[in-house]
Each structure stands twice: as structure tokens, then as C-alpha cells.
Amino acid sequence: MFAIARTFALVGVAAEPVHVEVDIGSGLPSFTIVGLPDAAVRESRERVRSALVNSGFKFPQQRITANLAPADLPKAGPGFDLAIATALLVSTDQLPQTVLDRYALAGELALDGQIRPVPGALAMAEATRGWGLAGVAVAPEDATHAALVQGLDVMPIRHLNEMRLLAEGAVEPHPPSSPPTGDEELPDLGDLRGHPVLRRCLEIAAAGAHSLLLIGPPGGGKTLALQRLPSLLPPLSCEEVIEVTRIAGVCGENGGPRLRRPFRSPHHTISGRALVGGGAPPRPGEVTRAHRGVLLLDELGEFRRDALEALRVPLEEGAVTVTRTSGAVSLPCRFMLVAASNPCPCGHGPDSGECDCHPTAVSRYMAKLSGALADRIDITLTVDPPPAEELSDAEAEGSGAVRERVIRARRAQERRLGPGRTNAEMTPAETRRHCEIDRASRQTLEAGHRQLGLSARGWDRCLRLARTIADLAGEERIAEPHVAEAIEKRRRGQS
Amino acid sequence: MNAEGGPPHACDDCLRRAWLIGSLVGYIEKVVSTAPGQRAQELLAFSDEDLVDAIAGRRGKTFLERARKRDPNRLREAIAGARAWACCRHDPCYPKGIRDLGDPPAALFGRGDADLLAALDPGSLVTIVGSRRPSGYGRELASALGRDLGSAGLVVVSGMAMGIDSCAHQGALEASAVTVAVLGTGVDLPYPPRCARLYEEIVERGLVISELPPGTQAYRWTFPARNRIMAALGAMTVVVEARERSGSLITSTMAQELGRDVGAVPGRVGSSPAAGTNGLLRDGGHLIRDAQDVLDSMVGVGANGARPRPVPRGRALDAELSRVLDLVESGLGSADALARSSGLEPGPLAAALVRLELSGYLRSDSAGRYERTALAAPDQ
């Protein structure tokens, strides 16, 4: 009269195994759930009772104890319903033991026995491979996610009474979803007329995943340009699709595998915690949701200072570590930061002659742009509205051609650094190894530091940027023009 | 009274008067809130009795009594504590130009070498003022004027504000010349705080003066009030970039009223940082292009104080670089415009611009626009 079902609990963006042990004993009829359940897990009793009865099963009038092990891991949410119900059915001999031996289970029960999707099904599917099980049984919506994991039977279950079919082997596994290559419509770079320098900066930023800051008056095309950035980025690799989809799933976004790099654009009123993640239990923030993609901070100067300060470590480390008494959780966040800002509170810019801002207000505003993030931004560019004659120019180069060049440059980086790595993430050691420069380049770089006031940290950033520019040019060695261009791109944020 | 050449000295009455004003700065601010410049000047010309009456009404009496009881030696201690000195209008060191004011301050407080104060030649003082938010062009001109006038032996007077004032001081210091900063705060407070380093340099090598006792904080009215001292101090006032209704124009108007020469540096028509200076020129101000123009009107045409500097020449340029340089010279400033006209791809163009900047041919402002420097290309 005892059964164990396997399911999972989310810790950060990873699935931790949870065993649901159900024991049926003699005594007054009761139903107890132990093992640090939250309110949603405790209410599971009512859902399980009704779902069982409405699916044509019998609910035992005995003393039922369900334990969610490990007992010290807090459990949250309704995702344990299916595992509890199935373990209960097996322990009362209404279902054969094989169901529990073969599959990990996750799903929320409706009162009529329908199975609803839960956050993190893909995370569970990934983890299940390590648990020695043949597959997972989840709601059909979750199955499309979970089927991204190769070598695993993903069983879509619509209703609790389909568990009988599952036991008989009459359920077809979901066909493995391979990340389709089809392109959705993205805003195209061809819409951006004029702006030759801005286009070049977008291309370099996309090629090396470098952070980019555009400063300029309103209406200059900053936001328009940045929204076209996703169309320049290379497609996600299979592993990356899983990572990105898993994070989307954990955040409760179902709807098939994520093929596109995420593009997150939080409003400037966002708090530091919402940006980098946190809370108890730790929830991923915007930086994690932008993992492998782009985080756009529009109106950078309006963001709260503490929020911007909080971005520093994630930018540097590529991960956020949230420490709670229950332990530390690491959330991945390898994203590309792009930002746009007005040059001063009024938007005209202190050098334009039209600016009405008080000099102190301007310097406070600039301090926000440069203070927290200056050294972490690779490319800073001033964007002015293009002259009218450029707006009527012939068709500008579209995203497709630029993307080809970006992909070629990224391939060179992956050969050098490993899959999925980019120049922007090179460690100091890697920078030394892969960014050797000749004498002429060194002289230019030294002159740049001396005369244009590039910071010490800026030295390595310049080299990484020069590496990307060389990669775009298809050169194995960095040459002086690459370094000179890197200085030009890098210097504006300094003043 | 002090003998010529001795250390500056301030008598008890003058110190009491300065102290009274120092203790009333906050009250004056309230009274003059609508028109700080004009009204404050009227007030400062009042006698002690009229002043306290105007700003404190019936309570004025108590102010006055308290002020009369003050022991000037306590103020002298405070002055010494701030490593400053004081000089009253009865002292021969008191700058002669300031005596032309209708309301010369009773005492001047100063920091820096007091001997310099006695040695100031009224005919060699030139006041340079201008916008706190100048363009790169304005900055360049202000420091060139400060440098060249300094090396011609003139003393640059300015207000140590951000922008043009700081550039002018800086230029004079570069030429190892004496420069005088007139503050709108106590002489021991570097204001604005951002100019603290400049302040230390001026104290080291020039003079910082103020009519307000040490420790006095900044108020809105104290700046127009200090402008009248700058206007009176300089034999000529030069305005480098001023917007319409700029504080620098207050200085130049006061200078005109005192019968001093006023000059202005022309700017682009329609450019708002130069609207004020262009207006001054239309109204008959001297047109100032460089230090020689200032010397011509101060000392007389042909005075060769400003040695013409040899035009510096940079290193040789290849065809591509000189083409880009020519385009910048023709007035194209933004990289986008240059990319269009030069036919270069943005990448190589950026590299060319950096090379030109590093070899000193170009300079770029915070908005990323490029300008030509004075450096000339070598003869082919």
C-alpha cells in the first residue's frame, strides 16, 4: 500500500528531483501532504480528490499520507498534482506499478481530471535523463517543450484517465521537436535609411555580442535601430534553444520551443530585483530571461540608479547568484546589453545650443550613463537624425546580408573559444591569447589611451572589439585599422 | 593706513561692514528674489542703516546693534584661519579699478600671494567671461585668449565658473601668468566644487578674491554682485560666447557703464551659444578674434605683446587621410556625413578619423562631431 512517483521542483531554472511517496494506512479517512508544501501544494488534496472521482477512479476512504521528499526543499505550485494522484492510484492498485517505474510525472489537475501545463516541463525533461527513467508524462502543451530533449519518451497526457492507456502502452510519444529553421517576420534593417555609421556599429555589436549604447535626441532612430538588432543575430543552436526554452518555461511561458534569441525590453521603472532576479524562492529576472539574447534598456538615463548598479555583476560574470538561507541558486544570464538614451534630460544635448538643462542636471544625467555602466559598454555612439536626402536613398542593405557576415564572424569566434562563446565574453587570459597585436597597433592603442583617456579596463575591451572587427573582415590577425576603429567605437563613453 | 608695499590691511569699520553683509546674505536673497542683479546692487550701495532697514524692517535695529558690537579681531582670526587676507578701501593695495564702482565693497578678501595684489597694474587687467555651457569652439578660444594674453603680460580676470571662465583661467595658468578669480562665495570655498583643482592652482599661482567674508555660501544674488567687481577690475571685458540674457552680459553692461572697453568673440549667426556675443558686436563692441585684437584696443594698435606663434605643423598624411581632413575642414562634422561624402566605408573612415585625431589634426566633442584643430598639414 505504498508507491513512489517521480516529479521535480524548480530551483532557479533547474529541476531538482522530488519523490512523491504515498502511503495508505488504516485509520480514520484523512489526506495529509507533508514535505514543506506551500498553500498551492496543500490544496492539491482537493483537486486530486475531485479529479480522481470525476475520472472514474475510486478515492480510498482511508488514512492517506503523501510525503514530498527531500523534505527540506520547499515545494511550490500545483505541478505535483499528477504525481500525487498517480502514486495514490498505484498504491490502491487502480494503476500498475510500471507507470511509476517508467515515467516522471508533472501536471496540474483540473477538477474534471484534465491535465494542465506547468512551468519548467523542459527543465524536468532534461533532468529526467539523469534519473534513469524512460520518459516523462506531461500535459500536451508541455510535451512540445519537453520533446526538445533527445532520447526521451515524452508522453502527452490530456486527462487523468489516459493514465490507464499509458500503463497499457497505448499512448504515442510526442515526436521529438527539432528546432525548426523557419524564420518569423522580424523588423528588418532595410527600414533604417541613412545612418551608415550606426549600421556599422549594429553589425559589429551583433558579430561579437558587444554591448552598445546609443545617445541622441528623440526621433533620431535609436529605438528603431535597436529593434532591428534581433534580425542580425545568428540562430540559436540546439542546446541554446533548450536553454532559452527552459528559462521561458520556468517563467511560465508555454508555447513551443523558443527559436529566436530573446529580446527583452523592460520599462525604466523596473526595480533592481526584477532586473537581475531574486526573491524567495529565487525567480529569474529580466537578465536571465534575456539569456542568449538581447536586453534593451531604452531611456537608460531614466532607469533607477540601483537597478543599473545591480547589472554590473551579471554583465561581468554571465550569471546571477542568489543566496538564500536554503542555499545559493545560480541563474544564467549571458546576454547582450543594448541601451538608448537622450544626451540630457531635455533631449537636445548640451552641445546643440538648444539645450535648456542646467549644467548640473546634465552632468547628473551623464553620470548615470557613464557611472555605473561606462566601462561595461563596448560601443558608444551618438545618433543624430539623418538629413532628408538620406531618407529618400535607394533601398538600404537588408538584415539578411548583414546576418550572413555576422554568422561568419561568430563561426570564427566559436572555433577559437568553443560553442556559443563570443568575443565580448573573452576572459583576460583568452584576450591575451587571441588578441595579439603588432607594433603599429600597439602604438595606436597606446596613443589612444594617452590622448583620448581610455581607461585601463578599456584596453582589453578595445582589443576584444578589434578582434570582432577583424573577424568581420575575415582576418585571422588583428591589424592597425581594426584597432583604430575599435578606439573610435569605444571612446565616447569615456568623457 | 598702510604704507605702500606692506601686507594688505583692513580697518575695523570696513571689516564690520563686510561682516554685516556676510551675515545678511540670506536675508538679501529673500528681498531681491525677483531681480537679483539690479536690486542687490542698489542694496549694496546703501549705508548700514538703510541696508538693514530695507531688508529687515523693524528688526533691523537689532541687526545693526549686534553688528556694531562685533569684535573685528574675531573676523581677523577667521580670515587667518582660512589662510586668507583682507584689504579695505583705505588700503593703497585696494585695486584702483574697483574704486570706480558706485558701491565699492568696503573690504576685499583674498587668497594667494598678497604681494601680487599690490603689484596689479590696473591697465593690464583683462576680464574674460562667457557661457557656463560653451561649445568646443568657445572653450578652445577662451583658453587660447587666456594663454596668449597671459604670455603677453596681461592678467586675466574671470569668475572661475564652469565653461569659459575656467578655460580662460586655465589658459593663463598654462602660460605661467597671473590670473585673478573673483568668487561669488567666501574666498575659502571653491565654487563650483567641480573647479576645486583649478581653485587650488589659482591660489598657488594667482589670486582668488571676494567681497564676502570667508565661509559665506553662494546665493543667487552674489554672482551678479561679483560680476560688478570683475567688470570694474578689468580695463577691458571680453565676452566669449554668451546666450541671450546671459549673466556674462550683465558683466559687459556694467563694464560699459563704468566706461571700460567691451569686446566680444563672434560666433555663427543663429547659433544660440553665440546669440549674446553677436548682439554685443552689433551694439558696437570690439570684435575680438585673438589676443592681438585685445592688445590692439587695450595697449594701442601695433603693441606686440602677443608674439605670433609659429603655426604648428603635424606629420605627413597619405591621400586618404588628407581627403578626410579636407572634408572636415569644409565643415562636415558628423561621421555619417563624412561617410557619405568621402565614399569610404564606415569602418575605414572611423579608423582614419582616429588616426587624424591621434596625430592632432582633429578634435571631437562629446556629441561625436569632429572639428579641425589649429595644427596645419605639412607642405607637400
CB contact under 8 A, B346 and A199: yes
- Chain B: give the shortest CA distance to residue A144, in Å: 44
pTM of the model: 0.70
What domain count does chain A have? Answer: 3
Q: What is the DSSP string of B59-126?
A: GHHHHHHHHHH--HHHHHHHHHHTT-EEEETTSTTS-HHHHTSSS--SEEEEEE-HHHHHH--GGGEE
CB contact under 8 A, A448 and B273: no
Per-residue pLDDT of A68-81, as tens digits, reads 989 888 888 889 99
CB contact under 8 A, B367 and A198: no
Mean pLDDT value across residues A121-141: 88
| Residues A154 and A195 occupy one common structural domain | no
Q: What is the CATH number of the domain that holds A194?
A: 3.40.50.300
> Which residue in the set A196, A198, A351 is minimally distant from B340, CB to CB?
A196
> Which residue in the set A351, A354, A447 is minimally distant from B365, CB to CB?
A351
H or E element at residue B138: helix B136-151
- Of A136, A168, A200, at which residue does a domain stop? A168
Angle (CA) A253 A254 A257, round 5°:
110
Check residue A253 and give its pLDDT: 76
Check residue B202 and give its pLDDT: 94
Closest of B81, B136, B117 to residue B209, by C-alpha: B117
Per-residue pLDDT of A225-253, as tens digits, reads 998 998 899 888 878 888 888 888 888 77
| Residues A269 and A377 occupy one common structural domain | yes
* Chain B residues lying within 8 Å of A198, measured CB to CB: 336
Check residue A495 and give its pLDDT: 40
**Residue A359 in contact with partner chain B when CB distance is under 8 A:** yes
| Residues A363 and A482 occupy one common structural domain | no
Count of Cβ atoms closer than 10 Å to residue A305 Cβ:
12
Chain B nearest-CA residue for A443: B358
Check residue A385 and give its pLDDT: 80
**Could you tell me if A260 and A184 are in contact, meaning their C-beta atoms sit under 8 angstroms apart?**
yes
Q: How many helices (H) and strands (E) does chain B have?
A: 17, 11
* Chain B residues lying within 8 Å of A197, measured CB to CB: 335-336, 339, 346, 349-350
* Chain A residues lying within 8 Å of B352, measured CB to CB: 484
- Of A416, A446, A479, at which residue does a domain stop? A416
* For residue A481, cis peptide bond before it (omega within 30 degrees of 0): no
- Of A139, A168, A197, at which residue does a domain stop? A168
Residue A173 in domain: no
Mean pLDDT value across residues A292-319: 88
Check residue A31 and give its pLDDT: 94
| Residues A206 and A352 occupy one common structural domain | yes
Residue A175 in domain: no
| Residues A343 and A394 occupy one common structural domain | yes
Check residue A63 and give its pLDDT: 94
Per-residue pLDDT of A194-228, as tens digits, reads 888 899 999 999 999 999 999 888 888 888 899 89
The average confidence (pLDDT) of chain A is 86
Chain A nearest-CA residue for B355: A484
Q: What is the CATH number of the domain that holds A112?
A: 3.30.230.10
Q: Which of B132, B336, B345, B359 to mutate to test the interface with A (most CBs of A within 10 A)?
A: B336
Mean pLDDT value across residues A313-317: 86
- Provide the residue range defining the domain that includes A101: 2-168
- Chain B: give the shortest CA distance to residue A384, in Å: 9
CB contact under 8 A, A488 and B133: no
Q: Please report, in tens digits, the pLDDT of each residue of chain B (380 residues total).
A: 444 556 788 888 899 899 888 888 888 888 887 666 677 778 888 888 888 888 877 777 888 888 888 888 888 998 999 899 999 999 988 998 999 888 889 999 999 988 888 888 888 999 999 998 887 788 888 999 999 999 888 999 999 998 899 999 999 998 889 999 999 999 999 988 888 889 999 999 999 999 999 999 998 889 989 999 999 999 999 999 998 888 899 899 999 999 999 999 998 888 788 899 999 999 999 999 988 889 888 877 666 655 555 556 677 788 888 888 888 888 777 888 888 888 888 888 888 888 888 888 887 776 677 877 767 777 64
Closest of A29, A27, A56 to residue A45, by C-alpha: A29
CB contact under 8 A, A354 and B357: no
Residue A182 in domain: no
Residue A136 in domain: yes
| Residues A156 and A302 occupy one common structural domain | no
Chain B nearest-CA residue for A483: B351
Check residue B5 and give its pLDDT: 53
ipTM > 0.85 for the complex: no
- Of residues A312 and A179, more confidently modeled: A312
Residue A176 in domain: no
* Chain B residues lying within 8 Å of A362, measured CB to CB: 133
| Residues A346 and A477 occupy one common structural domain | no
pLDDT at A456 over 60: yes
Per-residue pLDDT of A18-61, as tens digits, reads 999 999 999 899 999 999 898 888 899 999 999 999 999 999 99
| Residues A126 and A260 occupy one common structural domain | no
- Chain B: give the shortest CA distance to residue A444, in Å: 8
Residues 28-67 of A with CB under 8 A from B: none
Per-residue pLDDT of A351-362, as tens digits, reads 666 677 777 777
Sorted by where each begins, the domain ranges of chain B are: 12-299, 319-372
* Direct distance between the N- and C-terminal alpha carbons of chain B, in angstroms, rounded to an integer: 67
| Residues A227 and A127 occupy one common structural domain | no
Q: Could you tell me the fold of the domain covering B12-299? A: Rossmann fold (3.40.50)
Mean pLDDT value across residues A81-91: 95
Check residue A104 and give its pLDDT: 94
CATH architecture entry for B319-372: Orthogonal Bundle (1.10)
| Residues A155 and A264 occupy one common structural domain | no
Residue A73 in domain: yes
Count of positions (residues) in chain A: 495
Count of positions (residues) in chain B: 380
Closest of A198, A229, A215 to residue B337, by C-alpha: A198
